[in-house]
Chain A
């Protein structure tokens, strides 16, 4: 089963990287109607099926290692 984790900076945390990308978009004539946020995607495979136990394990990895709850949010997709 493929796990795709999306990590983004929390709304309340300034995202200088997103701001820089947003400025570049403006230079190209596209004015985004919101702040641009830059995050990261982490992909990996796990054995097994979509069970509460598997989700609990993935949450543990997301919360401790893949994202820092002080500054980032995460969500993931299973496929």
Chain B
């Protein structure tokens, strides 16, 4: 899959994502500056972590209006695979491609630690039999507290849209949610950083399974 990693002013995990996808997975990957008007034939989009536009106004609020986002929204609405990590998750929520919003951590602290995630049975390849019951993935965020109203949460649960829950909720997220997907199954968002868990010097290599499951689930979806 040809992967486009979008760089916003303030992205700081773009090269980590590039390293994980191009270096570890050997996928054709390119970095795309946010001012590009098109995705130039990319088959998968990654919105990386960081602090787009300094998180001014709200995290992800300004990035959502970057020129490239018009193409990303269109791509996603046509079924194209999109994954947003940390700030990328916040941008997807701001853009309305995923429900809910991320606010300040309950304890007010910026949290940087390895987090144990419970894997939910969400869809083909994105489930416990593919990823294991729990995985260890680093988190690094000050605004990772996921908020959604009760009706929205009921809908997420009913459609198996929850990907991961924190084993020890670090930030106050509703229903311990660490990652979700859209109803259609092509837009994914998560606060933890799988790109920081891909090689031996990292706290774990469980991020490899996450990317593999994401790419496989999208390939299976496209074949179906």
B105 at the interface (CB under 8 A from A): yes
In contact, B148 and A70 (Cβ under 8 angstroms) = yes
Chain A residues near B101: list those with CB within 8 A.
68, 70-71
Q: Choose one: A9, A20, A65; the contact of B108 (CB below 8 Å).
A: A20
In the complex, how many residues of chain B place their beta carbon closer than 8 angstroms to a beta carbon of chain A?
20
Whether A14 contacts B61 in the complex (CB less than 8 A), given A68-B101, A70-B147, A71-B101, comes out as no
**Which A1-36 residues have a C-beta within 8 angstroms of B?**
9, 12-17, 19-20
B54 at the interface (CB under 8 A from A): no
Chain A nearest CB from B90 CB (Å) reads 10
Shortest Cβ distance from A71 into B: residue: B101
Complex CA–CA separation, A27 to B62 (angstroms): 36
Please tell me if A66 contacts chain B, counting CB pairs below 8 Å: yes
Residues of B within 8 A of A71 (CB): 101, 103, 147
Docked-complex contact B57 and A66, CB < 8 angstroms? yes
Q: How far, in whole Å, are A13 and B148 apart by their CA atoms in the complex?
A: 9
Interface string of B51-70 (1 = CB under 8 A from A): 00000011001100100000
29 interchain pairs, CB-CB under 8 A: A9-B103, A13-B103, A14-B103, A14-B106, A15-B104, A16-B104, A16-B105, A16-B106, A16-B107, A16-B108, A17-B104, A19-B108, A20-B108, A65-B57, A65-B61, A65-B62, A66-B57, A68-B58, A68-B61, A68-B94, A68-B101, A70-B93, A70-B100, A70-B101, A70-B149, A71-B101, A71-B103, A71-B147, A72-B58
Q: Which 4 A-B pairs have the closest CB atoms?
A: A70-B101, A16-B108, A71-B101, A16-B104
